Amino acid sequence: MLKRVIFCFVLVGLLIPSYLMAGSVTARGQAAIVNNDKAMARDKAIEDALRRAVEQVVGTMVSSESKTKDFQLIEDNIYTHSKGYVESYKIVSEKVEDNVYIVDIQADVSSGKIEGKLKAIGIALSRKGKPRVMFLISEQNVGQENPSYWWGTTASVSDIGIVENTMINIFQKNGFTVIDRQAVSGKIKVKDAYRVASLSSDAAKSIANQTDAQIVIFGQAIAKSLGNQPIGTSPDSPKYPTASANMSVRALNTDNGEIIATATGEHVYPHPSEISAGNNALKMAAEKVSNQLIDGIMEKWNQELSGGQMVSIDITGVDDPGFLSEFKNFLTQQVRGVQGVQIRKFKKPDASLDIDYKGKGQDLGLELSGKKIGKSVLEVTDMQQNSVKIKVTKGGK
């Protein structure tokens, strides 16, 4: 009975996403009629229309720059297999003009399948420089009085919980590079104030910045007992110990502290063993949250790749507010990819700016290195994915 119940849950979970992720688009396909073979031309026109329908959906997910740079990769993996991404289609109209067969179709294209393939071939991930990821997840299973987390006093650095292990596996399968915290444990010094299960953004950023992680994923996972619950709907259904797991996590850029994505999830799982019920509930919740978080990260990255991202610039050596005005004009007028500049704060001799930039922080840093603003020279002292640090020197020295 339990297997049947679980199977039904799994089956429903498999059926719903395909339905929800299909989007309807219209497209036109054309093919020349050769040797008066209209049937062949019609088939090719339909194939052309299906490809164009898929191209439309890809266009909403990938920046034009990425489509150009990764054309062959997208061509080989998606466009040449267009039929596989179309759930269904119907011919709206068809006609022949100047010996060309023309077909208009309405197609339901699976954006979920396309997104999965884009993840698999690492388009957005590659464009973002494949940033390294670190996990800071506290975990509390059924029967545990307190949560366990390696940066505290209740677990060692070698302990990897069910949730963290599940998330690591899913992120690695999606092309992410995950920091091995056991390998870097000697570098990490945790402040007493940060030895808590519920980390603040500043605390997570502080811990992760002691490694070379560009993204830190932090949060909590808690499994609680629901007691014995029936696993079926009939009056004589057996009752099993049941656990409910809840998770809440955030992904944060370690260089500028920006929240990239958030995710929450829960899962209920029955099992003859209460501990196993908790283990499985935590694992299933972690799978849901991981996929949700990856979707959020990819959505954010695709927006940045097609538009711009926020790059923070911290400057030292500024002795005059007038320099900031000159620097702002220089950025907006002479640096390619800069779409906007906001002076966030200035307290002599330091200043901070937020740059709306189409590119990575490293690209901006390379562009600014050695540039002159009046009699001042920009010396780039640090470049990260989303931040640049600059020292201003006078007279070229």
State the span(s) of the chain assigned CATH 3.30.1660.40.
2-123
* pLDDT tens-digit series, residues 124-155: 777 777 889 999 999 999 988 889 888 876 55
- The domain covering 2-123 belongs, at the CATH homologous superfamily level, to FlgT, N-terminal domain (3.30.1660.40)
* pLDDT tens-digit series, residues 166-207: 999 999 888 788 998 777 777 888 888 899 999 999 999 999
- DSSP type of residue 62: S
* pLDDT tens-digit series, residues 39-65: 999 999 999 999 999 999 988 877 666
| Segment holding 133, helix H or strand E | strand 132-140
State the span(s) of the chain assigned CATH 3.40.50.10070.
130-306
Weakest-pLDDT range from 13-22, 182-191, 387-396: 13-22
- DSSP type of residue 189: -
Mean pLDDT for 287-313 is 85
Quote the mean pLDDT of the chain. 85
- Over pLDDT 70: what percentage of the chain? 88
CB 138 within 8 A of CB 148: yes
Mean pLDDT for 60-72 is 72
Phi, psi of 306 (to 5 degrees): -85, -25
The amino acid occupying position 218 is F
Q: Is 36 left (phi over 0), alpha (psi -120 to 50) or beta?
A: left
Of 367, 362, 231, 369, residue with least CA distance to 309: 362
Predicted model pTM: 0.64
State the span(s) of the chain assigned CATH 3.30.1360.
309-394
CATH level 2 (architecture), domain 309-394? 2-Layer Sandwich (3.30)
Starting from the edge strand earliest in sequence, which strands make up the sheet with 338-347, in order?
338-347, 350-357, 309-316, 387-394, 376-383, 372-373
> Is 130-306 assigned to CATH 1.10.3720.10?
no
